[in-house]
Homo-oligomer: A and B are copies of this chain.
Amino acid sequence: MYADWIAADWGTSNLRLWAIGPEGQVMVERSSADGMGKLTPEGFEPVLVALAGDLLEPGRVTQVLICGMAGARQGWVEAPYTATPCPPASLSPVPVKTRDPRLSVRILPGVCQTDPADVMRGEETQIAGFLAMEPDFDGTLCLPGTHTKWVRVAQGQIRHFRTAMTGEMFALLSTQSVLRHSVHGEAFSDPAFADALEQALSAPDGLLLDLFSIRPSSLLNDTPAEVARARLSGLLIGSELAATRDYWRSMPVVIIGDAGLSARYGAALTRAGASARVSDHPALALNGLIAAHAHLSEDMT
């Protein structure tokens, strides 16, 4: 059975795609480790055909709608950013020339903000998926990850947003810095996380000193790695929450993302006094692509 159209989330480290049937059902889901980070512009079409060629009906053109880093400057074709404020489900995708006559590929743009300068690429489609489920949401979406996004949403639009490099900082410090000797393993102390969170929330300007202090604590006091690791996470997330108060202090927050990290952000926000919940809507990127595809189809009629 062939796809009516194909939805794809093509990020830096992998590609996920869904074949959508004629009644809108998801027929097939597939993924590949050939993310944007591994490909030159010429490399994208062969990866797509290798992963999805059997879903393309001979003699017919199949629409493929892509979100994510495939549209970055170093991706397949640059899909320039749309500026805030903007409705994330009705961004204008950029057509991509392909050699395979069965393909009609378009890439959705990311979203940018001028002041302060900020960008997202891929998250806007998850937000579109969330708004497909809760179109009247008025508040902040928090998308924790390597680069955590804080996004003010109202009336179906992305109004403004900020990005914190908390996740990337945690990864670098826990694997590459002097702190790696103190925070090894995966064990995690919730009380130590809460302590560090509150310390950073009440005195966020001490971050560069407090982070270092994790190392002498383990040298002098034999602090267990699970305490040191939770402290590192708590100091970083606490510092992030101190910097993003305008996004969570007086409006509802919904957290979107990986379950473990979402739970950690939910606990942190609740402890900080925010009204926060973790989204339980599945498949937000897919649903965002479906919403964007529906909008494009309306435009054509």
Q: Which residue of A147, A164, A212 has the most chain B CB atoms within 10 A of its CB atom? A: A212
**Does A178 sit at the interface, judged by CB under 8 A?**
yes
A168 and B164: CB pair below 8 A? no
What are 11 A-B pairs at a CB distance below 8 A? A73-B219, A112-B216, A117-B219, A119-B215, A163-B209, A163-B212, A165-B177, A165-B211, A168-B177, A204-B204, A205-B239
B162 and A239: CB pair below 8 A? no
**Does A107 sit at the interface, judged by CB under 8 A?**
no
> Which chain B positions have C-beta within 8 A of A81?
220
A119 and B216: CB pair below 8 A? yes
**Does A244 sit at the interface, judged by CB under 8 A?**
yes
**Does A236 sit at the interface, judged by CB under 8 A?**
yes
A209 and B164: CB pair below 8 A? yes
A212 and B178: CB pair below 8 A? no
**Does A213 sit at the interface, judged by CB under 8 A?**
yes
**Does A116 sit at the interface, judged by CB under 8 A?**
yes
Chain A positions near chain B (C-beta within 8 angstroms): 73, 81, 112-114, 116-119, 147, 162-166, 168-169, 172-173, 176-178, 204-209, 211-213, 215-217, 219-221, 236, 239-240, 242-244
Known pairs A204-B204, A206-B243. 7 more at Cβ < 8 A? A81-B220, A118-B212, A119-B220, A164-B208, A169-B177, A172-B173, A207-B239
Our pick among B113, B147, B208 for the contact of A243 (Cβ within 8 Å) is B208
B209 and A207: CB pair below 8 A? no
A236 and B208: CB pair below 8 A? yes
> Which chain B positions have C-beta within 8 A of A220?
81, 112, 114, 117, 119
Roughly how many angstroms separate A283 CA and B76 CA in the complex, as a whole number?
55
Within the complex, the shortest CB–CB distance from A146 to chain B, in Å, comes to 8
Roughly how many angstroms separate A212 CA and B177 CA in the complex, as a whole number?
19
Roughly how many angstroms separate A296 CA and B108 CA in the complex, as a whole number?
72
Within the complex, the shortest CB–CB distance from A12 to chain B, in Å, comes to 10
Q: Which residue of A73, A165, A213 has the most chain B CB atoms within 10 A of its CB atom? A: A165
Cβ-closest chain B residue relative to A211? B165
> Which chain B positions have C-beta within 8 A of A211?
165
Within the complex, the shortest CB–CB distance from A122 to chain B, in Å, comes to 14
Within the complex, the shortest CB–CB distance from A208 to chain B, in Å, comes to 4
A176 and B165: CB pair below 8 A? no
Cβ-closest chain B residue relative to A218? B117
> Which chain B positions have C-beta within 8 A of A243?
205-209
> Which chain B positions have C-beta within 8 A of A166?
208
Roughly how many angstroms separate A215 CA and B119 CA in the complex, as a whole number?
9
Cβ-closest chain B residue relative to A181? B74
